[in-house]
């Protein structure tokens, strides 16, 4: 559905290209409503404009803080052209429609880079611009909203070709860009002000990944759960750093997911540098902790721990003599908290577990942009034994455990998991390698030299498919008898054939779990 542009509102901080756009609009017979410095520039260049005060009924005030915020402008943007009752009400109120909004915001981002003066920062937080942009973008079926000079040429080209009309496709594209710009703008305001105003709150972190980097924790509604890890109760300890929170979040999520799989059992997850280094499930909480700690006691030093149960006095006493950074659990006994109180630097956090039904989406940044994705939900789509040696049903609890833990390891990764002392525990893992073969040969193999393990009670789990049979050749030399992997390689048959040669049982799950 095309919309004829009869009236446009131009209000920009960045004046690049605005004169050419305004001249194009005037040639097409469009009335231009403008504000402040934009209006002054356009008049200087001979562009006929309607001052904003003629629309609002009030002059610009308070040093330009009040310009477009008004019932008249808001109504002209928000009333629904397709509804007869809205049209009638607009006519009764004397509201004339605005069909195009061209607005870019006060330069908050460049301001914080050029000065440390907080008052100047605050003065460059735009209010009317975001309000106008949101209104126009929300009503995109009738209004085109342009927030960047980069889009002027496309807009002018379409207007000139169509005789002054915009297509629905262009308006949709521009609306999406408008909402993205508002989100980016608000995120920058929240981040920089958190650093300046967040002292003594959870918002201001000690530092980022390294001490010379600044960091902040910003509340973000990306979960269906009301009480999230980001809003966990902070019981005691030093301020949290960026890395503390990343590691604790990994531990918390892994413990929560294992709790779903092993309901009624005690789960312990120890994370170091973004990877679960010691994970165990046992009927007894202390035994679960001991198994997880002994899985890699070197890496556990200075680690982040998460539990799926109330932390008892016994558990706290075990940790009292060991160096740890953070403990996360849904509850703590009074005696456990007394013990932790003697280790004042240890951060103790309390939060409910993440339910299996919670749907979450995650955010990461790249240069000039933000990547968003839904959280990696679930662990398997199927359970298909593909070798002559069947994958034993008795091994499924160990395999399920391994699938969850491997999902939280950095790719490329391989994990080896075993039943031990009445529980299930991580035996060894290789993470973050450019190729899967080195995960096994250079990381897992050396870790197994000093360990005793039952090859018939152990499962090797891969986060993605094996691209070649060479990994199977190395695995069999270690004594591995059972493998779980997603499958999906063009060489799956070659890998299965290698397993059959060595009498190895393999199952495929159908879901890859890369974690970059």
Residues labelled as active-site residues: 138, 273
Residues 6+ apart with CB under 8 A from 272: 247, 299, 300, 302, 303, 304
Are 240 and 205 in contact by the 8 Å Cβ rule? The answer is yes
CA atoms of 409 and 514, how far apart (whole Å)? 9
CA atoms of 394 and 379, how far apart (whole Å)? 19
Beta bridge partners of 51: 34
- As a whole number of Å, the CA-based R_g of the chain is 30
Q: Which contiguous run of DSSP H or E holds residue 299?
A: helix 297-300
CA atoms of 486 and 380, how far apart (whole Å)? 8
Beta bridge partners of 419: 424
Q: In whole angstroms, how far apart are CA 119 and each of 104, 111, 123, 280, 512?
A: 21, 11, 6, 52, 50
Report helix, strand or coil for 149.
Answer: helix
The dihedral of CA 309, 314, 320, 323: what is its sign? negative
CA atoms of 29 and 24, how far apart (whole Å)? 9
Of 457, 478, 456, 465, which Cα lies nearest the Cα of 509? 465
Beta bridge partners of 365: 370
Cβ neighbours of 497 (radius 10 Å): 13
Torsion angles phi and psi, residue 375, rounded to 5? -65, 150
CA atoms of 440 and 414, how far apart (whole Å)? 7
Are 216 and 195 in contact by the 8 Å Cβ rule? The answer is yes
Instruction: Determine whether 117 is exposed, middle or buried from the number of CB atoms within 10 Å of its CB (0-12, 13-18, 19+).
Output: exposed
């Amino acid at each position: 559905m095309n919309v004829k542009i009869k009236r446009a509102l131009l209000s920009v901080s960045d004046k690049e290209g605005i004169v050419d756009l305004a001249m194009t609009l005037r040639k097409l017979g469009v009335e231009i409503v403008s504000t402040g410095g934009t209006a002054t520039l356009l008049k200087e260049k001979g562009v006929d404009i309607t001052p904003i005060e003629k629309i609002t009924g009030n002059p610009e005030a308070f040093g330009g803080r009040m310009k477009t915020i008004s019932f008249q402008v808001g109504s002209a943007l928000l009333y629904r052209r397709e509804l007869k009752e809205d049209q009638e009400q607009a006519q009764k109120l004397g509201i004339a429609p605005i069909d195009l909004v061209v607005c870019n915001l006060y330069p908050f981002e460049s301001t914080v880079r050029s000065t440390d003066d907080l008052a100047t920062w605050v003065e460059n937080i735009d209010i009317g611009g975001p309000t106008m942009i949101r209104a126009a973008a929300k009503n995109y079926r009738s209004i085109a909203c342009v927030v960047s000079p980069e889009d002027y040429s496309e807009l002018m080209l379409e207007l000139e070709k169509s005789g002054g009309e915009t297509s629905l496709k262009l308006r949709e594209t521009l609306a999406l860009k408008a909402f993205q710009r508002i989100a980016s703008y608000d995120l920058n305001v929240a981040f920089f002000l958190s650093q300046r105003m967040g002292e003594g709150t959870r918002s201001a972190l000690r530092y980022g990944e390294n001490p010379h980097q600044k960091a902040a924790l910003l509340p973000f509604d990306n979960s269906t759960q009301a009480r999230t890890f980001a809003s966990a109760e902070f019981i005691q300890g030093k301020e949290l750093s960026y890395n503390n929170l990343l590691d604790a979040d990994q531990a918390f999520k892994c413990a929560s997911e294992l709790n779903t799989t092993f309901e009624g059992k005690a789960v312990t997850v120890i994370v170091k540098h973004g990877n679960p280094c010691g994970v165990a499930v046992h009927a007894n909480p202390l035994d679960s902790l001991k198994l997880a700690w002994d899985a890699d006691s070197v890496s556990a030093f200075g680690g982040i721990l998460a539990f799926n149960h109330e932390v008892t006095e016994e558990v706290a006493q075990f940790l009292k003599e060991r160096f740890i950074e953070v403990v996360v659990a849904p509850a703590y006994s009074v005696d456990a908290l007394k013990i932790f109180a003697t280790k004042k630097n240890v951060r103790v956090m309390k939060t409910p577990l993440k339910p299996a039904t919670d749907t979450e989406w995650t955010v990461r940044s790249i240069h000039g942009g933000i990547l968003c994705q839904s959280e990696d939900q679930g662990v398997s789509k199927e359970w298909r034994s593909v070798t002559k040696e069947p994958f034993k049903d008795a091994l499924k609890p160990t395999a399920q455990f391994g699938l969850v833990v491997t999902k939280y390891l950095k790719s490329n990764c391989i994990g080896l998991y075993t039943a031990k002392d009445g529980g299930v525990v991580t035996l060894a893992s290789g993470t973050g390698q450019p190729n899967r073969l080195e995960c096994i040969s250079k990381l897992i193999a050396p870790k197994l030299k000093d360990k005793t393990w039952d090859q018939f009670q152990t499962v090797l789990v891969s986060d993605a498919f094996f691209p070649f049979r060479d990994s199977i050749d190395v695995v069999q030399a270690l004594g591995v008898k059972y493998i779980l992997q997603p499958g999906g390689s063009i060489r799956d048959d070659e890998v299965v054939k290698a397993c059959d040669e060595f009498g190895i049982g393999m199952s495929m799950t159908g879901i890859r779990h890369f974690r970059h």
